[in-house]
Amino acid sequence: MTAIIEWDKDLRSVQEMRLAVAKAKEAQHIFAGFSQQQVDRIVKAMADAAFEQASKLAHMAVEETGLGVYEHKVIKNQVAARDVYESIRDVKTVGIVNENREEQIVEVASPFGVIAGIVPTTNPTSTAIFKSLIGVKARNAIVFSPHPAAAKCTVEAARVCMQAAREAGAPDGLIGWITEPTMEATEGLMKHPDVHLILATGGSGLVKAAYSSGKPAYGVGPGNAPVYIERSADISQSVKRIVDSKTFDNGTICASEQAVIVDQQVRHLVVHQFKNNGAYFLNEAEKKKVEAVMTLAPGKLNPKIVGKSATVIAQMAGITVPEKTRLLIAEETEVGKHIPFSIEKLSPLFAFYSVRDWQEAVDLCKQLLALGGRGHTLAIHTRDDGVARRFAEEIPVSRIVVNTPAALGAVGATTHLKPSYTLGCGTFGGNITSDNITVHHLINLKRMAYGIRDIDIPRPGTDSLPERRGEKGWHNKAVEVQQVVEKVLVEEGKVGRVDKEMVTQLVQEVLAKLG
């Protein structure tokens, strides 16, 4: 009987997905004909509505998933609504979006069509808001498949955006969702013939499925971001930023710091400042107890600790820590899947390493990233910009954030990186892009190019190569034309405004007559 009920749930989920895609396809066909003004009005209405509902959606997310911090999820939703909107507000996405008159190339925007939006349980509402805004701004429709543990709050975020879009004039169904997501429905969505792009944020298995679907996909890899405190850094400010970042929403942002690497010369100062900021350093016995609840197997994180507070994790491990503890830190010397504190933890757990200098720090960062964070993010705190630039040259990550909280800097909240909740890892991490995904990635650009020169094509068998126009004659004539044109333009101020293209054409005609 249980098997029949589960099968019925799968059928309902798949049917709901198919209906949502059908409505999205119809809506997008209509929406593709909207003007830039109409699109912008709709996107603004969506952003305003999502911002107004940021608190309600944050409360729903924490209540449903049991992950993170309510106040921090409010900020996530506000960044998704306000900062993302501000970053895309003036982007042209309809008709001619760019024209280079000198090179005679015109770029025309065209939407992708219907997008499959895969949403994680760690950022369920902010990701839905973000993907709705960039998708609709590019004149696409989007259908969401939430994480089963966050379906209600994700669907509500999508519903808020859809209602605002509809009231602003968008066709119904432009934003759709699966209320009872199943793996079968999610896989069906990604492979649906009327879905043109997959925008996947989630676990590595889901991202791999997106890439294996046969459809174009933007998937993002895991993070295991190291942070290096170099000896010249402002220690007090650096540690405060790191603790604030690592504990933001209980560490559920993939760009949050996972291991701190410290120059030995400033180690004692760093430890002191961590303690001043609510960190608790585990002794060897306590460390072993925490490790026992951290992983289910070597390299496999226990999902029950994800997004939980430091005190809750301490209770799970059976250790006693001060009531106001924000962060649990364990000193480490090794890196590997068999070292729990060296993997991505998505919680307020931190590995602490000491190094002799920045060269040793570079090597250690590479080892940590090789565990699963290649291509994602690295943070560095230093007053020596030369050291920061060496890290940028040598570390295989797509974003290096300097003197700022990694969790907020990588998503564009405290830096000028594009505000985004889908952070590409480039080929370092097996992704197609290293960018912060935004509206530009959801538009096809058609390029219209005008002819700028004629080339004489010799007939077969004539054995005459007309001055091989890539070499002497053609090159010399082109240089000659350019020299004459420049000479004429120098005199422009004496004879009035002269059209460069007209002068070029006249000079070419004269030189052609002269042979």
Phi, psi (deg, nearest 5) at residue 355: -135, 160
The residue assigned the tokens 């400010």 is: 237
Amino acid identity of residue 138, one-letter, is A
CA 222, CA 207: separation in Å to the nearest integer? Answer: 10
Could you report how far apart the first and last alpha carbons of the chain are, in Å?
Answer: 91
| Of 419, 444, 375, 426, nearest in space to 127 by CA | 419
| Of 106, 100, 168, 179, nearest in space to 137 by CA | 168
**Is 435 within 8 Å of 424 (Cβ atoms)?**
yes
CA 213, CA 219: separation in Å to the nearest integer? Answer: 12
The residue assigned the tokens 């030189």 is: 511
Longest dimension (CA), the chain: 95
Task: Decide: residue 411, CB within 10 A, 0-12 exposed, 13-18 middle, 19+ buried.
Answer: buried
425 is an active site residue: no
In this structure, are strands 295-297 and 300-301 parallel, antiparallel, or unpaired? antiparallel
Rg of the Cα trace of the chain? 28
Whole-angstrom CA distances from 462 to 27, 153, 321, 459, 499 are 58, 73, 90, 6, 39
CA 2, CA 445: separation in Å to the nearest integer? Answer: 50
What is the per-residue DSSP string for 230-293?
-TTS-HHHHHHHHHHHHTGGGG-STTSEEEEEEEGGGHHHHHHHHHHTTEEE--HHHHHHHHHH
What's the DSSP call for residue 441? G
What is the per-residue DSSP string for 297-330?
ETTEE-GGGTT--HHHHHHHHT----TT--EEEE
User: Beta-carbon neighbour count of residue 284 at 10 Å?
Assistant: 8
User: Beta-carbon neighbour count of residue 289 at 10 Å?
Assistant: 15
What's the DSSP call for residue 249? G
CA 278, CA 394: separation in Å to the nearest integer? Answer: 33
| Of 28, 20, 45, 85, nearest in space to 167 by CA | 45
**Is 223 within 8 Å of 320 (Cβ atoms)?**
no
**Is 116 within 8 Å of 199 (Cβ atoms)?**
yes
**Is 82 within 8 Å of 47 (Cβ atoms)?**
yes
Helix (H, G, I), strand (E, B) or coil at 118: strand
- Indicate which residue of 153, 161, 254, 425 is catalytic: 254
Active-site residue set: 254
